[in-house]
Amino acid sequence: MNIYLGDDVRSVDPADRNVELNDELLVFLSKISRGAEPDLSPICNIDPYADVSLNVSEVKEIAKLCETVIRDRLLDDHEEAEEGYCIISDLMELANEAIAMNCGLVSIGD
């Protein structure tokens, strides 16, 4: 799935800057989140096959979770840890940009 700045699907141009969350990273985040802190479900529960709009409140939560994943080195055991950290960092940057603009994010599913 690809995540863009915007408040709804109609506002998204596929050529715009976006962050691609791959299936492997989502599966890994789901595994480490089960029964442990932090609860990464706000990221993991985004339907990767649907188009989903995330409001500013949800975006703020996602930005905080991204910061926690990076700070606590939660991806160190992931097969593609370096790539995963880059993706999470890019997502945090996009989320912070959305917060500064007081807009949401849109996830376009596969």
Tens of pLDDT, residue by residue over 31-47, are 998 877 889 999 999 99
pLDDT interval class at 82 (50, 70, 90)? very high
- Residue 93: the pLDDT is 98
Euclidean distance between CA atoms 31 and 95, whole angstroms:
23
Report yes or no: 52 and 44 within 8 Å, Cβ to Cβ: no
The residue ranges of DSSP E strands in the chain, in sequence order, are 2-5, 19-20, 52-54, 105-108
pLDDT interval class at 4 (50, 70, 90)? very high
What's the alpha-carbon Rg for the chain, to the nearest Å? 13
Report yes or no: 44 and 59 within 8 Å, Cβ to Cβ: no
Q: Which domain holds residue 28?
A: 2-108
Euclidean distance between CA atoms 63 and 86, whole angstroms:
14
Q: How many domains, in total, are found in the chain?
A: 1
